[in-house]
Structure 1
Amino acid sequence: MIIIKTQEEIELMRESALIVSKTLGVLAKEVKPGVTTLQLDKIAEEYIRDHGAIPGFLGLYDFPNTLCMSPNNQVVHGFPTKEPLKEGDIISIDCGALKNGFYGDHAYTFAVGEIDPETEKLLQITKESLYKGIREFKLGNRVGDVGYAIQKYCEDHGYGVVRELVGHGLGSKMHEDPEMPNYGKRGRGKKFIEGMVVAIEPMINMGTHRIKQHNDGWTITTLDNKPSAHFEHDVALVDGKPELLSTFAYIYEALGIVSNEEDEFRKEPFSL
C-alpha cells in the first residue's frame, strides 16, 4: 500500500534527507587514498547523532553499521572494513538517517583520487540516468516509466542494469511501497499519486547486469567483477512534479564542483 505524505510530513522528510546530504558532504572531504571505510563510518555516525538524528541503517535488518560502503565491483550493501581505500578506487556510500519519525536515504559513488576514464564515464552515465528517471516521476506516469528511462539510457551506453535490487517508497519506514525498479516498460506498474515520496537509485554495472550475493547475506558484487556505480535521491511528488528532498550540493561544495543539475527539480535554487 502506498502511503501518501502531507506537505507537513514532506517537510519533515526533507529535514531527514538533508541530514544525509550533509553527512555525505562531510564524507566527501575524507574520501581519499589511505582512509578506511570504518573510519568514514565512524565520522558519519557521529555527525548524524550530533545533528539530532539516528543512523537509519544501523541495526536495520540487523545491519551492523551506519553506512553501506561498496567499493569497485561491489554493487550495494557492503560492510565498512579496515582495508584502506586506494588511488583509482570508486566507493558507493549509501547513508540513512531517522529524524522526527521519518527516514532520509540516499547515495553517491565517489572517485578515490584519479580514476580511469572508462570508470569515470560509468559514474557520469549512472548519475545522469538518475535524473532521467526523476523526470518521469510525475502525475499521470507509472513506475515503469521511471524504470524504462533509466534502463534505456544506461543500456544505450552498453551498461548492465541490475534487476534484483530496486528503489523504494520512503517514509516512517525505510522501505515502503512502491518498489522502484531501474528497468521496466512505459505505462506499466503502479500509478504515481500526489504526495508520494520515493528513493530512486540506479545501480549500474560496467559489464553484465548479473550479480552475486555473498555468504555474509549482505555483500553484492557484479558477476564479472567489473565496477558498479550507485546514485540515489529522495523525491516527493508535489504539484504533480518531482521535487528533490535530498541534494548533492554539499558533496559538490566539498569537491569544488559547479553544477545546476538539480535546479529543475526545485521550486527555487538550493542554497547551502
Structure 2
Amino acid sequence: MTDTDVMERKRVSEIPLHGPEAFEAMRKVGRMTAECLDLLAEHAQPGVTTDFLDRIAFEFIRDHGAYPACLHYRGYTKTICTSINHVVCHGIPNDKPLRDGDIVNIDVTLILDGWHGDSSRMYYIGEVSRRAQRLCEITYECLMRGIAAVKPGATTNDIGAAIQTYAEAERCSVVRDFCGHGLGRVFHDSPTILHYVEPAYNVELKPGMLFTIEPMINLGRPQVKVLSDGWTAVTRDRSLSAQFEHTVGVTETGVEVFTYSPKGYDKPPYGVA
C-alpha cells in the first residue's frame, strides 16, 4: 500500500472484526500462500528468470483451486512481485535472469474461497554478500518484533515502535511510503499498519482484526521513487532494500500468524540445493 492509501484508511472509522470461521479460512489461505513461497525457494537460483518464477506460482495457485490476487489488480499483469536488490517493492517479473549475489523479495497474495493470504520473503541467489545477508536478517527481526507487539489493547504504533527502534539501532532505515494493511475478504482494508511511529495515527488493536505486517528496510536512506512503469519502487540512493511479510490475526490473548512456512523456510538460507 502507498502513502495515499494510508490517508484513505485514516478516514475509515469501522475496522472489521472477524470470528472463528474467518480465522479458520485465513489459516487455510495463509498456509497455501506459504506453500507457494516454499515451492519458489526450490527454483530461485542464478540463471532463472523472474518470469519463470511467476509461471510456477501461477500454476501452483491455479492447481490448488485458488486465484492470484495481484493478477489484473489495478492493471498489474503478473501473479507475483519480484523485487531485486535496490527494488523496495512491486518489482515486475521479466525475462532477465537472476544473478549470483542477488537478493530478491518475492511477494505472493492469493485468494481461496474468497479470503486473501498475503506474504513475502527474501531469497538469496547463489553466494550473497555478508552485507546483504545482514540486511535480510535485520529485516526479518523487524518483522518478528512487530508481530510480538500485537495483542489486544496494544496499538498500531506499538508495532511501528518495535520495528523502527530496532532498524534504526542497526543503522538501517524504515521505508515510509508503503505500509501493512487489513485484509480478509478484501485485499486492502483497514487498519493501516505503519512500520514506524506516527503520532497522528494510532489505532487500538482488538480481537478479530486481520492485517499484514510487512516492513521494508533499507541499508541507506528511506526515500524511494516509483519508476515509469507505475509499479516498481526503488531506493533513491540505490542502497539495498529488504522486506518480509506475514498475515496475522489479533486473538483474545495475543496474535496468530497465518503464513508461517510449513517447511521452516521463513527466512533464508532455506537449505535447498
Q: TM-score, normalised by structure 1?
A: 0.91
Name the structure 1 match of 2:38. 25
Pairs within 5 Å for 1:170-185 = 170-184=183-197
Distance in 1 between residues matched to 2:154 and 2:201, nearest whole Å: 9
Give the 5 Å matches for 1:53-92.
53-92=66-105
- Per the alignment, residue 132 of structure 1 pairs with 145
RMSD after superposition: 1.6
CA offset at residue 255 of structure 1?
2.4
Distance 1:24 1:104, change over 3 A: same
How many Å separate the matches in 1 of 2:21 and 2:106?
Answer: 29
Where do 4+ consecutive residues of structure 1 move more than 2 Å? 185-188, 248-257
Say which SS state the counterpart of residue 265 (structure 2) adopts: helix
The number of aligned residues is 257
Q: Given residue 163 of structure 2, which amino acid in structure 1 is its aligned partner?
A: I
- The equivalent residue for 2:181 is 168
Residue equivalent to 1:218: 231
Amino acid at match of 2:43: E
Listed one character per residue, the Cα deviations across residues 25-80 of structure 1 (whole Å, up to 9, x for unaligned) are: 00000000000000000000000110110011111111110001110000000100
Q: Secondary structure at the match of 1:103?
A: strand
Whole-Å separation in 2 of the counterparts to 1:57 and 1:10 = 22
SS of 1:75's equivalent? strand
SS in 1 for 2:89: coil
Secondary structure of the 1:134 match is: helix
Letter in 2 for 1:224: D
SS at match of 1:250: coil
Cα contact 2:31–2:262 (8 A) shared by 1: no
3-state secondary structure, aligned to 1:191: coil
Q: Does 1:158 align with 2:171?
A: yes
| Cα distance in structure 2, aligned partners of 1:138 and 1:36 | 40
Structure 2 gap ranges (5+): 1-13
Q: How many angstroms apart in 2 are the aligned matches of 1:241 and 1:117?
A: 34
Unaligned runs of 5+ in 1: 258-272
Could you tell me which residue of structure 1 aligns to residue 240 of structure 2?
A: 227
Q: Look up the equivalent residue of 2:112 and give its one-letter code.
A: K
Q: Which moved more, 1:157-166 or 1:238-247?
A: 238-247
Work out the CA distance in 1 between the residues paired with 2:264 and 2:240. Answer: 21
The one-character-per-residue Cα deviations of 1:112-162 (angstroms, maximum 9, x if unpaired) are 011110110000010011010001111111111101110110011011100
Asked whether 1:255 is paired with 2:270, we answer yes
Q: Hey, what does 1:8 align to over in structure 2?
A: 21
Q: Would the alpha carbon gap of residues 137 and 187 (structure 1) be closer, same or farther in structure 2, given more than 3 Å must change?
A: farther
Q: Distance in 2 between matches of 1:8 and 1:63?
A: 31
Among all aligned residue pairs of Structure 1 and Structure 2, give the percentage whose two residues are the same amino acid.
38
Aligned to 1:123: 136
